[in-house]
Structure 1
Amino acid sequence: MTDDPIPRRQYYLTRNAVTEVPQGYRCVELDTWNVVCDDSFTVLPVLADGRRIGIVFGTVLDVESRRSGDEIRLGDDLADPIVDAFEDVLRGLLGRYVGLLDADGVHRVYPDSAAALPVVYHKDEPVVAASPLAIPSVSHARDFRADLFEAVRWPLISRGCNTWVPGKLTYYRGVERLLPNHYLDLKRWEAVRYWPRDGQRDDAANGGSADEEIQTVVETLQHLFDRIASVYRRPAMPLTAGKDSRLLLAVARELVEDGTVSLYTFGGSDYEVDPHIARRIASDHRLDWRPLRIVEATTSEQKAWLRATGCTVSSAIREIHPTLRSLDADVQIGGLGGEIARGYFWRESDRAETEIDPVELLFRFSKPPHPELISSLEAWYEGVGHLDTYTMLDLAYQEHRLGCWAGPQHLGLPPGLDYIRPLWYRPIIESMHRLPPEMRRADEFPTRIVETCWPELNDYPYNSFTDWKGYWKTARRGVKGAATTVSNPRMAAYYLSRKYVSRDGVDAVVATLRERT
């Protein structure tokens, strides 16, 4: 045990004897495994044929009503193998959770579809945990890799705050990350891809029927909101000027109009586009909405945030996360994940057969061509090389951007309420993968859902003001960009080189970095 205390609302999994359980935690035994997890976590045994085959723990919302009391029962006469049945259970859950399968000689750990309750592991211990510092033997002072941290963050125009690291890498020696759509084989301590399988989805290159997928998503989301409203007493949902929050608002129309789900927005200035649009929507439709006064994190709170998240989330949420403490709710419903439906990493010139290598993908991630990042993505490519380019890029978003950035940030959010992301529900992700490419390029998915559920909401602009303030925003952005160029010419030069550099120049940089390492 090191001097670094385990952060709140995390866990670790070990076969070693647990001699000390941290305050606010409990230890749950499963055969030869010990799960030390936060007291607030739900822990559900999974039973098949009357025997326990595993557990699911975290924030667990049973969408398909398989839960019976404090356990999940698969039935006494399974038609499918244990592994398939267990994975099917996970597919029908919503929330932030980890599944541990331990039956018939199979020992596996599964994260949820976006790793909102992350899984990292240390092969040599061996221990699985939510973050590196949740592993008892890991020390920040000894194991943190400042060299990699600086290499990843310094070149980016984000005040050096875009620190998420793709692939299996973490900033701690010996600790690797398990990406979404993979399980960890606890016999070999190796990550294995299990989704997508053949027959589980249509290729994104071909797409499905847009009308059918839209209808499926609408019905599924409405069911999810009904389940959320039946479990929680005070659900709250952010309303911004963006498309995904408007999508969720439209789907949850009945629950929002009757006040079951309340709305809020960070900040209240009418010179900020989010409260500007949210205030008008709420006023016009008489919705329960309020602005939240932004509370900035102290230096110590930001330090605690970085350590809780494994130092992979240094963006704006780190600075303002205490704002959520004033939210009068027991669950926060967020819109992260809709980017899969808009081909976030696609480029206009991309086609199903376009060849994209790890260096190009790092460019799309806005990451430097560091040799360790390249090697990490080369290993990831081995599992997706047979897929069309569209599907590969969408998996890159789900697994690297969500799994390595969006998921870990939940470890730093204030305790006291749950965090649920409906668009991360596995069947929703599957539907987004099946949308036709032309719909995704045009970013029509959210507006089509709004048109289906609450068409008047499409009358308000997206990410834009309704009046002259749009010109103010453009002018302010220009001044801010000029100030950045003057104050940090190195950063500005790097941005321009990334935007206009030739591929030969990129290859030369990579070769130089390889020589130096």
Structure 2
Amino acid sequence: MMNKSSEKHMYRRDFIILKKDKRNDLRPRIPSCFLINSFFDYDVYSHNILDVNKFLISRKNTGVCLIGYALNPFTGANDNSRIAQHLAKLLSEDESNFFDYLDQLSGRFLLLCKKEDREFLLQDAMGYRCALYSTDPTRFMIASHTSLFQSVFDFRLNEEAFHISTQENYSMGGNYLPGLMTAISQVRPLLPNTFIDLRTISIHRFFPREELERNELTDEFVEKISKVLCRQNEMLTKRFKVVLSLTGGLDSRISLATLKNHTERLDKVFTYIINGNQSHKKDISIAPKIAEQAHLTSFSTINVKKSDLLLGDFLDKSQKIVNCNIKKSSSDMIALYLVGVEDPSTVHYMSYGPEVFNCYFTKNPINRDGVLSLDKLCRLYKRSLVHLTKDAWQEFIDIHNPQMKEVYGYCPYDLLYWEHRNGAWLGARMSDTDMVADTFVPFNNRKILKEFLSIRQDLRRTKEIHKKLIQFNWPELLEIDFT
């Protein structure tokens, strides 16, 4: 049995949502380090360092419970309780305004919502506050990690998922499962741009809702985006201790460029290499040059060894790692641990997200037809595993209701990357690093993503946006080569 110290460390920032009528029967199975917050007919169990804020409008039988943290770089709102209050008021008055405000929020959060007889749950823009749900109405729960479903309801491991994960080419392109498959039977991930109706356990899409505005990559456009990103960084660095991971690429260089006026507030800056990985060698060659150019005195290079990936005596995390269905601990988590992140108020500033607007899938001209199909979903996932994944992708089509062709001007390939690769892979990966630090991604904001996606694909594909943003905010950073 896990001792209380290990349990408190392992379940950092984790949560469980259950109906109140399950409290007496299931409380002994829930980690003892979890606190309870009641929200209408539900109990939210969460680790004490995971912020939970709720606001109820009793006369309208309406309320919002915000799990995690949020900020609004467009209005300057930087307080979870006030954001929850504003969301609840908007929900009670006009749902369209509620969703418009939601689009402006950055951070990493879930919203548990009630409006009269409706109860639903949704995530931050990219689904980085991972939420999994069970499909069995008699054992319904929502949780941050698959291991929690095993401990509360004795759900079994998914043998089909295990079989796929043991295939020779499974790790190519990322360790994540197809469609809505998880490592646990009868458990699915909630994905971005949708919400789950808690009464019917059904998925409903709320984005996109309107035509995508088209913009030119002008100086005025670059300045507008820069102001939002810079304001966001100012809000973040005032609120949290920030640790920045730096690579040799342009994605993290945008982050650093827009952090120019706040580098003195960065607690640590680091890059890392895993077992001498050749692709990482470029990072450890270029990142120190960037750090020197930017006068980042807290910069360090972390060498993650094979023995580190097994965690040694740090913590037995084998149950929790099954969330990503990888057989070792997250390299990001170990790098954060080795760099010395200890304060629970720390956020790891990561530069995930640009692949959504970098046209990841349409770099190959064959995918520029603007139409998805079952066969294409299988091949875009992992070409060598098509014969094993068709059922999973058909379930994805039936339940998630992805945009299979252009809708409101959004390319279906962009939305697929946004919703599945981000939600099913990166969201789970961030849950694994929660044990050490929370995560902030500057592009995890629906309104910011809409701005980037409004630019022509040829300019996005060649990363002209990246270069212009860096040029505008910190041009010296472009003097150094990039990967």
TM-score, length basis structure 2:
0.83
Q: Which residue of 1 aligns with 2:147?
A: 133
Q: Which residue of 2 aligns with 1:217?
A: 225
Q: Note if 1:264 corresponds to 2:264.
A: no
Q: Residues of 2 paired with 1:398 and 1:79: CA distance?
A: 25
Letter in 2 for 1:345: F
Of 335, 340, 358, which residue of structure 1 is paired with 2:356? 340
Letter in 2 for 1:312: C
Q: Which residue of 2 aligns with 1:286?
A: 295
Of all paired residues, the percent bearing the same amino acid is 18
Q: Note if 1:13 corresponds to 2:29.
A: no
Residues 1:31 and 1:79: Cα distance change in structure 2 (over 3 Å): closer
Q: Residues of 2 paired with 1:11 and 1:198: CA distance?
A: 33
Q: Which residue of 2 aligns with 1:116?
A: 128
Residues 1:383 and 1:407: Cα distance change in structure 2 (over 3 Å): closer
1:59-208 equivalent positions in 2, closer than 5 A? 59-61=69-71, 63=73, 64-66=75-77, 70-71=81-82, 72-74=84-86, 81-124=93-136, 125-135=139-149, 136-139=151-154, 143-156=156-169, 158=171, 162-199=174-211, 201-202=212-213, 207-208=214-215
Aligned pair count reads 449
Q: Residues of 2 paired with 1:79 and 1:106: CA distance?
A: 11
Letter in 1 for 2:146: P
Look at both structures and tell me which one has the larger radius of gyration over its CA atoms: 1
Deviation larger for 285-294 or 402-411: 285-294
* CA displacement at 1:60 relative to structure 2: 3.3
Q: Which residue of 1 aligns with 2:4?
A: none
Contact 2:180–2:392 (CA under 8 A) maintained in structure 1: no
Q: Note if 1:331 corresponds to 2:336.
A: no
Query: C-alpha offsets along residues 30-65 of structure 1, whole Å, 9 cap, x if unaligned?
Result: 111111111111111135598761210123345444
Contact 1:244–1:335 (CA under 8 A) maintained in structure 2: yes
Letter in 2 for 1:219: K
Q: Note if 1:363 corresponds to 2:382.
A: no
Contact 1:44–1:57 (CA under 8 A) maintained in structure 2: yes
Letter in 2 for 1:432: F
Q: Residues of 1 paired with 2:444 and 2:245: CA distance?
A: 16
Letter in 2 for 1:53: G
* CA displacement at 1:128 relative to structure 2: 1.4
Q: Residues of 2 paired with 1:306 and 1:462: CA distance?
A: 36
Query: C-alpha offsets along residues 329-361 of structure 1, whole Å, 9 cap, x if unaligned?
Result: 522100000101210111442576443312223
Q: Note if 1:406 corresponds to 2:423.
A: no
Residues 1:313 and 1:208: Cα distance change in structure 2 (over 3 Å): farther
Contact 1:46–1:54 (CA under 8 A) maintained in structure 2: yes
Residues 1:260 and 1:148: Cα distance change in structure 2 (over 3 Å): closer
Q: Which residue of 2 aligns with 1:385?
A: 404
Residues 1:175 and 1:348: Cα distance change in structure 2 (over 3 Å): closer
Q: Which runs of 5+ in 2 are unaligned?
A: 1-6
Q: Residues of 1 paired with 2:373 and 2:143: CA distance?
A: 31
Contact 1:321–1:413 (CA under 8 A) maintained in structure 2: yes
* CA displacement at 1:277 relative to structure 2: 0.8
Of 232, 235, 255, which residue of structure 2 is paired with 1:248? 255
Q: Residues of 1 paired with 2:328 and 2:410: CA distance?
A: 29
Residues 1:213 and 1:361: Cα distance change in structure 2 (over 3 Å): farther
* CA displacement at 1:298 relative to structure 2: 2.1
Deviation larger for 147-156 or 425-434: 147-156
